[in-house]
Structure 1
Amino acid sequence: MHMMLDALARFDGTITRLGIVLSPDGSPEEIEGVLNPASATTRDGTLLLYPRAVAQGNVSRVGLCVGERHGDDLQFARRGFALEPSAPYEVRTAPGGMGCEDPRVTFIPVLDRYAMAYTAFGPDGPRIAVALSQDGYRWERLGLVRFAAGLHQGDDKDGVFFPEPVLSPDGVRSIALYHRPMLRLSTMDGRGAIPTLLDLRPEERECTRIAYIPLEPVQRDIRNLLDVRESALVLIPDSPWCRIKTGAGTPPVRVAEGWFSIVHGVDAKDVGDGHYTMQYSAGFVVHDAERPHIVRYRSQTPVMVPEGADETHGIVNNVVFPTAIETIGERRYEFFYGMADARIGRARLELAPSFAGVEEPAA
């Protein structure tokens, strides 16, 4: 990877956990967990949450919940589902599950739309799909993201749109989209693949990339939002807390330093006899505001690791998985995260004041 100039010497924030906001309600639709939500603030200021609700057999739907605040308390009322598996690319008969997984919602002003990227788990495996909304309540599917010839084809996850157009590595004004191409090895063998994955060079493991969709064709026809023309590697799993894979988390938000997001990383701990436990933690990343393939900062240690029974025990143990963020003040945010793939937590983030220092590039 080329040397990044203008790197941030530090980028700090304080996270305060605020407890569980959603747990399974006992219905068949949530029997295997309610987790990894998207969020949106409607045009009239209402906070919406879109949890992934998992029914028996790992069948996933995207819920719709309306938030109501009472001081510091926040309650969500269920209002049915934003998406249920119905498109051919969301429905399959093979064992292992199906449906609409892990949504992230971004309001994109230049398109005047809420854009939801989610994992469609259908007959071909996990793929990134897109749905659009004018109001945050009613959603229309656009379809599966298409990658141009020469780019990754196949299993892909963690699609998250940037809110503003940026420049691609080739200098094209584009809509940007995080994604995480998957290795067939890990989708087929899970934990059994860990020793093999660790033997790979970090850049050969599952890495976070940014895909670029040229803006001009999208403005002519919104269906062109599915057409990715470039993809740049931005986060490789080379830190002690994320040696297995990295992946997008919350939609990026604009701060003084560039585009900021809370991302996730996965590490494996050897517990003996060839067995491993996995841990999902969270960290910060800051991208250049104009050219986000330039990473100005990334966490070398996690900012959030699983703690307490609700994050260490669940459908999948030892998981914190941030997927939604809302701005509540100057450098102050509220974010929502999956807890052990079973329930949803809420936390507050206060970023430290912008630090103007610049790290000298290595010789």
Structure 2
Amino acid sequence: MDELQMHRIGIIMRPEPGNEMEVEGVLNPAAIRGPDGDLYLFPRLVAKGNYSRIGIAKVIFDEKGEPVGIKRLGIVLEPEAEYEKRPEGGGCEDPRITYFEPIQQYIMTYTAFSSKGPRVALAISKDLLHWERLGLADFADYKLITFNDVYNKDACIFPRSMTSPHGDTSMVMLHRPLFPGTTPEDIMCDPQDRRIRDHHECIWISYSDLMLNGTKAEHLQEFESNSPLALPEAAWEKIKIGAGTPPVMSQHGWLMVYHGVHQTLPVNNEPHHLVYSAGLMILDKDHPDKIRYRSTSPVLKPELLEERVGIVQSVVFPTGIDRRDDLGTPNRFDIYYGMADNCIGVARLDIPDNITLF
């Protein structure tokens, strides 16, 4: 299983020449099937000054069912709420979208970038075109950690409700808090053999109590039972890991493609830099806080020129996933990912029947 690799299909979206809204890149899209069965991407569109909007585009397939391009359809979110704006601009960034079955609506998690820094925000929609903001995620405190004061991003929702550690029927979210002093840039200054501390550089799992809140949308952003899910382990993810694609059910459990960060060693007097790669994680189908499988090596790493050179060098950043039920191949997953923070690629991931689970 560790030899499993994604197979690149191609570059699906590049910045549109002359489009001021995309002058600093198109990247990190959500991917979701709409009510019409078509696949839609929700790319982050970056204008001058790192001003980010969330667009919508329809994916175009060839006669064999391979994704080959997109048709731009407009903008669905741009910085308007106070928690999305800052004096020099603002940001609605890096969306993930899930169809949440209990309320029969789509839920978008995205990074709202204000003067207070990045925070997780949520919005809901019935048709993918019109979105209602729910506000920032509101986290209960964890031990001595006041979560609402911590930078947070890379959030995604499971498509169905599950039972929390307290026995409540809940909506479940993965996210990546960034505690002070633990950004990749901070960690690059530390020794190579630095100890990974609990609660840092990792993916967290949190629960929103549906029994308490019902299915009223205004309460879905309230989360409790916060706890770390996974810490960095392998060399390719030593600095930090974060949630990538929203979890999708596979025959082995909840499948998620996540990102890991490591730093290169200086070569020929050139400074070291960060490298973002992708790995695979499978969570238990009934207990998502239990990891059943995890990559020991990347399933995708920066190799193409477009992945190595761009707005930020050496980045593959998975955020969108499409299980190819439409082709009758439920073990095939198309992964949409950001390439060096400048364009969007798509790669194919085939999951074998036999996997050794933990």
- Provide the residue aligned with 1:55 in structure 2: 47
Q: CA deviation at 1:252?
A: 0.6
1:256, 1:354 within 8 Å by CA — same for their partners in 2?
no
Partner in structure 2 of residue 252 of structure 1: 247
The answer to whether the 8 A contact 1:19-1:346 is kept is: yes
Please list the CA deviations of residues 59-118 of structure 1 after superposition, one character each: whole Å capped at 9, or x if unmatched. Answer: 100011112322235321111101011000000115xx5210000000111110100000
**Match in the other structure for 2:263:** 268
Counterpart contact for 1:166–1:289, Cα < 8 Å: no
1:183 corresponds in structure 2 to: 179
Q: How many residues align?
A: 345
Q: Return the alpha-carbon distance in structure 2 between the equivalents of residues 16 and 248 of structure 1.
A: 21
Q: Percent identity?
A: 38
Q: Deviations over 1:292-347 (max 9, x none)?
A: 11111111111111112011100000000110011112211111000011000011
Q: Does 1:205 align with 2:200?
A: yes
Q: Is the 8 A contact 2:56 2:73 kept in 1?
A: yes
Per the alignment, residue 211 of structure 2 pairs with 216
Q: TM-score, normalised by structure 2?
A: 0.91
The CA distance in 2 between the partners of 1:211 and 1:12, in whole Å, is 31
For 1:309, the aligned partner's letter is L
2:91 corresponds to 1:91: no
Aligned-partner residue type, residue 85 of structure 2? V
Residue identity opposite 2:40 in structure 1 = L
Structure 1 residue 166, shift from structure 2 partner: 1.5
Residue in 1 that maps onto 2:276? 280
Instruction: Tell me which of 48, 59, 64 is aligned to 2:56.
Output: 64
**Unaligned runs of at least 5 residues, structure 2:** none
Distance 2:173 2:46 in 1: 25
* Structure with more contact order per residue of length (Cα contacts < 8 Å, sep ≥ 6): 1
Q: Secondary structure at the match of 1:270?
A: coil
The match for 1:22 is 13
Give the distance between the partners of 1:351 and 1:201, measured in 2 at CA: 30
2: CA distance, partners of 1:256 / 1:193: 37
Give the aligned partner of residue 160 of structure 1: 156
Cross-structure match for 2:319: 323
In structure 1, stretches of 5+ residues that fail to align are 1-9
Q: CA deviation at 1:206?
A: 1.3
Q: Are the structure 2 counterparts of residues 307 and 220 from structure 1 closer, same or farther at C-alpha, using a change threshold of 3 Å?
A: closer
Q: Specify the SS of the correspondent of 1:195.
A: coil
Closer, same or farther: CA 238–115 of 1 in aligned 2, 3 Å: same
Question: How does the TM-score come out when normalised to structure 1?
Answer: 0.90
Q: Determine helix, strand or coil for the equivalent of 1:19.
A: strand
Q: Secondary structure at the match of 1:271?
A: coil
Distance 1:12 1:44, change over 3 A: farther
Aligned to 2:95: 103
Is the contact between residue 238 and residue 262 of structure 2 (CA under 8 Å) also seen in structure 1? yes
Question: Using a 3 Å threshold, how does the CA distance of structure 1 residues 177 and 194 change in structure 2: closer, same or farther?
Answer: same
